[in-house]
């Protein structure tokens, strides 16, 4: 018997030499600093000042003293923060020649003119606007929401104050004509969406709007749409105590540096949590994130306005809370169950693709066939997003790749580590959002990217070492001498690293990968490689286990395979027993016995030409699919105590049944043609056969696909449900293994193809990250 190498976590000192250790130590210090900055931002997001909103707040007169500003500190901010080119803009963003900057500059110029201060500032601001006036008419340049109303309205206001813009009067007239056309267009539409939109941009309408009608949109906090600019305009053209209290609170909190929307902490925090998860560094901030989500869940239960009155925030909160095990009802999205409701909202009327995308992503987190609301949203939102991807409308979609990715890769359809890599490589460090002007929901995006890059690169070094160890183990156990078997150690390790990506979980990955290799060889042995006597001999040896010496090896092939199983499972069992502080060997052996027996049944069916019923086939096939020796043993090594009572619980068995059923049926769909040629039956061919000719192959495939979807939904429900006997980190491995199966069998039998998944192997293990060349954060490692 050949004994495989001891299963162990390889010390980092074996991976790197002294020089690399020194570099790693310095990188560790930098990462601690980055983590500290991210934690501070998570707890209290830092909102960037909005010159546009500061300009409008600065225009508010004191009550009873209309000749003096109510908020002189905002006037002072304008005087102190003009850029050298004469503009006012967001310094963290390179938007010096954008419509946002023109809008902000004009608001600041009008505020100074209103109080007759800063004549030189006014002159430089007007010169900047005049020099860049052509941007206003350029439809290819992204415009803030309502730009054709707000900017043109302020042009009219400015000219009424006697301000003159450098350049041709015809250009100014053309802009004012745009305003007239916009107003005529909106006059035809009497929908609620139009009404809310016009109220949102009411500062651009001035006396043309009925401010009593606008005030119908006032929120409990006194604001209009949580917008300082709209609320300030209400105080300029009308007066309201609650609106005044809102601005007083705003200025007391931020001083003169007023943001473009407030409150917005919940959205900012959710956005950061989402970002950290998407790039694979969520685990570094788990305690902070759980604290944040606990608080947001409490606000969700109380139907807090900051969540419920904003479609994007509500959809994101629903998705992130549900994916983290919180019990949230889809009923809170019922008002968006029809496309007409979305189009009749502020976000729909303003063609807010990002809100639409968040709704669609929320709809995919379905945990019950009865969640009709989510099904409706998925249907209409998916269709609308698909239309936006058509070539004739691509110029209108600000983030084409994100929409395309969301449609084609729902959360259950991509391997987690591939998902992380893709998001790191496409990471936008500016990450600004666009409302009536641009704003930054997160000021530490560079830290996100730098930390994720370091983490991914470090993980790859660990993975490569482990893969080399796995390949040595194959040779030491003479598994490469079994010529009937697929050599899948690279794919086996890909599934392990994709499902169990944190570098510190080496033992779990190696257990997973070795058992996957052994199981695949057994599958080939029972499928094509072994004789009846060999197959029966292997089952008998495994059943005898420690007493196997009482039996003889029927062949050298049986000896090689059994000895590898015996040695590896014993090593894993010994380690797992230490980790779990109980003897788990019996459970591990039982997984192998159960699997090999089911494989033997299938082999016997093939040999005797027996045709099972569909139910009979499924009852055996989900076991013979072979996940029992792979997934359950790895659960012992993910840092959680897994009680023996949990292994006997119905939930534990149901997680395995659902996952294995999905995997088997996915495999059947892709293997149908090959197995039909070989004269083998699977779930699709059995449905056709037992229908007596009434069911076509396509109809059978559709029935199998529906069965997969049903099992997947129930699997997701069990994984996400809190308060169960199986620890959450253990349950998550079942969902991740489903993701692996979905990817391997989405288009072909990727696991059997020697080349189909090489791109994924390279992406996870070998190839360095390829960050966007236009990403300013590329210098982050050398700068910090």
Could you read off the pLDDT of 408-464 as tens digits, one per residue? 899 999 899 999 999 999 998 877 888 998 888 888 899 999 999 999 999 999 999
pLDDT tens by residue, 36-90:
999 999 999 999 899 999 999 999 999 888 899 999 999 999 999 999 999 998 7
Residue 41 main-chain phi, psi, to 5 deg: -70, -35
pLDDT score at 429: 85
What DSSP assignment string belongs to 447-508? HHHHHHHHHHHHHHHHHHHHHHHHHHHHHHTTGGG-TTS---HHHHHHHHHHHS--TT-HHH
The region, left, alpha or beta by phi > 0 then psi within -120 to 50, assigned to residue 33 is: alpha
pLDDT confidence tier of residue 5, bands split at 50, 70 and 90: very low
pLDDT confidence tier of residue 727, bands split at 50, 70 and 90: very high
Structure letter (DSSP) for residue 497 = H
Q: Residue 606's Cα: distance from chain center in Å?
A: 44
Does residue 67 sit in helix, strand or coil? strand
pLDDT score at 25: 57
Cα distance between residue 106 and residue 51, in whole Å: 10
- pLDDT at 168 exceeding the cut of 80: no
**Do residues 638 and 729 make contact, with C-beta atoms less than 8 angstroms apart?**
yes
pLDDT score at 24: 56
**Do residues 565 and 630 make contact, with C-beta atoms less than 8 angstroms apart?**
no
**Do residues 111 and 56 make contact, with C-beta atoms less than 8 angstroms apart?**
yes
pTM: 0.90
Cα distance between residue 588 and residue 596, in whole Å: 13
pLDDT confidence tier of residue 273, bands split at 50, 70 and 90: very high
pLDDT (mean) for 506-515:
97
- pLDDT at 11 exceeding the cut of 60: no
pLDDT (mean) for 244-258:
95
Provide the 10 A C-beta neighbour count for residue 325.
18
pLDDT score at 53: 97
**Do residues 442 and 433 make contact, with C-beta atoms less than 8 angstroms apart?**
no
**Do residues 402 and 357 make contact, with C-beta atoms less than 8 angstroms apart?**
yes
Cα distance between residue 135 and residue 129, in whole Å: 9
Structure letter (DSSP) for residue 224 = B
pLDDT score at 441: 83
pLDDT tens by residue, 367-384:
998 999 999 999 999 999
- In angstroms and rounded to an integer, the radius of gyration of the C-alpha atoms of the chain is 31
**Do residues 675 and 685 make contact, with C-beta atoms less than 8 angstroms apart?**
yes
Tokens representing 252 are: 């007391």
pLDDT score at 134: 87
Tokens representing 386 are: 């698909």
Least confident of 160-174, 332-346, 543-557, 586-600: 160-174
pLDDT score at 15: 43
- pLDDT at 19 exceeding the cut of 60: no
What is the average pLDDT score of the chain?
A: 90
User: What are the distances in angstroms from CA 495 to CA 130, 413, 764?
Assistant: 59, 14, 10
Q: Is the peptide bond before 263 cis (omega within 30 degrees of 0)?
A: yes
**Do residues 736 and 499 make contact, with C-beta atoms less than 8 angstroms apart?**
yes
- pLDDT at 566 exceeding the cut of 90: yes
pLDDT (mean) for 634-644:
96
Bridge partners (DSSP) listed for residue 65: 62
pLDDT confidence tier of residue 773, bands split at 50, 70 and 90: low
- pLDDT at 395 exceeding the cut of 70: no
Q: Which of 173 and 701 is assigned the larger pLDDT? A: 701
**Which residues fall within 8 angstroms of residue 384, CB to CB, at 6 or more apart?**
339, 356
Cα distance between residue 717 and residue 561, in whole Å: 38
pLDDT (mean) for 292-315:
96
């Amino acid at each position: 018997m050949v004994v495989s190498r001891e299963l162990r976590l390889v010390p980092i000192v074996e991976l790197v030499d002294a020089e690399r250790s020194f570099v790693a130590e310095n990188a560790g210090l930098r990462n601690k600093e980055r983590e500290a900055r991210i934690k501070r931002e998570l707890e209290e997001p830092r909102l960037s000042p909005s010159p546009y909103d500061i300009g409008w707040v600065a225009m508010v007169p004191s009550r009873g003293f209309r000749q003096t500003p109510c908020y002189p500190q905002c006037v002072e901010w304008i005087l102190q923060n003009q850029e050298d080119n004469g503009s006012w803009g967001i310094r963290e963003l390179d938007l010096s020649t954008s419509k946002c900057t023109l809008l902000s500059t004009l608001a600041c110029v009008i505020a100074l003119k209103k109080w007759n201060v800063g004549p030189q500032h006014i002159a430089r601001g007007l010169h900047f606007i005049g020099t860049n006036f052509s941007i206003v008419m350029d439809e290819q340049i992204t415009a803030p929401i309502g730009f054709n109303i707000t900017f043109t309205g302020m042009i009219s206001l400015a000219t009424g104050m006697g301000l003159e813009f450098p350049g041709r009067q015809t250009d100014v007239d053309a802009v004012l004509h745009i305003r007239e056309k916009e107003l005529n267009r909106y006059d035809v539409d009497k929908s609620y969406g139009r009404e809310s939109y016009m109220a949102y941009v009411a500062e651009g309408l001035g006396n043309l709007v009925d401010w009593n009608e606008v005030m119908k949109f006032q929120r409990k906090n006194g604001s209009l749409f949580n917008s300082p600019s709209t609320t300030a305009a209400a105080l300029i053209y009308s007066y309201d105590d609650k609106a005044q209290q809102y601005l007083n609170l705003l200025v007391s909190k931020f001083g003169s540096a007023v943001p473009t929307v407030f409150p917005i902490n919940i959205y900012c925090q959710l956005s950061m949590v989402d970002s950290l998860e998407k790039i694979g560094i969520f685990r570094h901030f788990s305690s902070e994130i759980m604290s944040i989500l606990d608080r947001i869940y409490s606000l969700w239960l109380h139907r807090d306005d900051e969540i419920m009155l904003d479609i994007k925030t509500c959809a994101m909160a629903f998705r992130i809370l549900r994916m983290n095990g919180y019990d949230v009802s889809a009923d809170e999205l019922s008002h968006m169950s029809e496309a007409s409701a979305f189009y009749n909202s502020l976000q729909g009327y303003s063609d807010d693709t990002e809100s639409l995308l968040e709704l669609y992503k929320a709809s995919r987190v379905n945990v019950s066939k009865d969640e009709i609301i989510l099904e409706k949203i998925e249907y209409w939102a998916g269709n609308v997003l698909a239309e936006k991807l058509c070539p004739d409308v691509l110029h209108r979609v600000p983030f084409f790749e994100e929409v395309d990715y969301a449609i084609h890769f729902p959360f259950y359809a991509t391997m987690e580590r591939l998902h992380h890599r893709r998001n790191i490589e496409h990471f936008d460090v500016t990450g600004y959002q666009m409302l009536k002007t641009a704003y930054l929901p997160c000021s530490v995006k560079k830290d996100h990217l730098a930390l994720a890059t370091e983490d991914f690169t470090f993980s790859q070094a660990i993975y490569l070492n482990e893969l080399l160890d796995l390949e040595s183990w194959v040779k030491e156990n003479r598994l490469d001498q079994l010529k009937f078997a697929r050599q899948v150690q690279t794919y086996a390790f890909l599934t392990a690293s994709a499902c169990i990506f944190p570098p510190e979980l080496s033992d779990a990955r190696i257990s997973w990968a070795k058992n996957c290799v052994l199981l695949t060889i057994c599958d080939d042995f029972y499928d094509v490689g072994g004789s009846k006597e060999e197959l029966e001999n292997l089952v008998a040896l495994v059943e005898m286990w420690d007493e196997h010496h009482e039996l003889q090896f029927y062949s050298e092939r049986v000896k090689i395979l059994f000895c590898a199983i015996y040695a590896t499972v014993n090593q894993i069992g010994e380690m797992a027993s230490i980790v779990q502080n109980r003897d788990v060997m019996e459970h591990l052996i039982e997984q192998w016995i159960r699997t090999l027996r089911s494989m033997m049944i299938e082999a016997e069916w093939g040999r005797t030409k027996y045709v099972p019923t569909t139910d009979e086939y499924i009852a055996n096939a989900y076991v013979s699919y072979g996940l029992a020796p792979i997934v359950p043993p790895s659960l012992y090594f993910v840092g959680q105590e897994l009680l023996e009572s949990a292994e006997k619980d119905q939930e534990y068995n149901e997680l395995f049944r659902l996952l294995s059923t999905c995997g088997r049926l996915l495999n059947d769909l892709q293997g149908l043609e090959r197995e039909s040629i070989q004269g083998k039956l699977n779930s699709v061919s059995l449905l056709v056969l037992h229908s007596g000719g009434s069911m076509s192959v396509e109809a059978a495939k559709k029935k199998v696909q529906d069965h997969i979807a049903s099992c997947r939904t129930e699997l997701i429900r069990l994984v996400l449900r809190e308060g169960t006997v199986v620890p959450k980190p253990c349950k998550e491995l079942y969902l991740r293994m489903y993701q692996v199966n979905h990817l391997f069998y989405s288009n072909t039998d990727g696991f059997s193809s020697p080349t189909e998944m090489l791109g994924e192997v390279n992406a996870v293990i070998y190839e360095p990250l390829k960050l966007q060349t236009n990403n300013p954060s590329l210098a982050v490692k050398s700068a910090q």
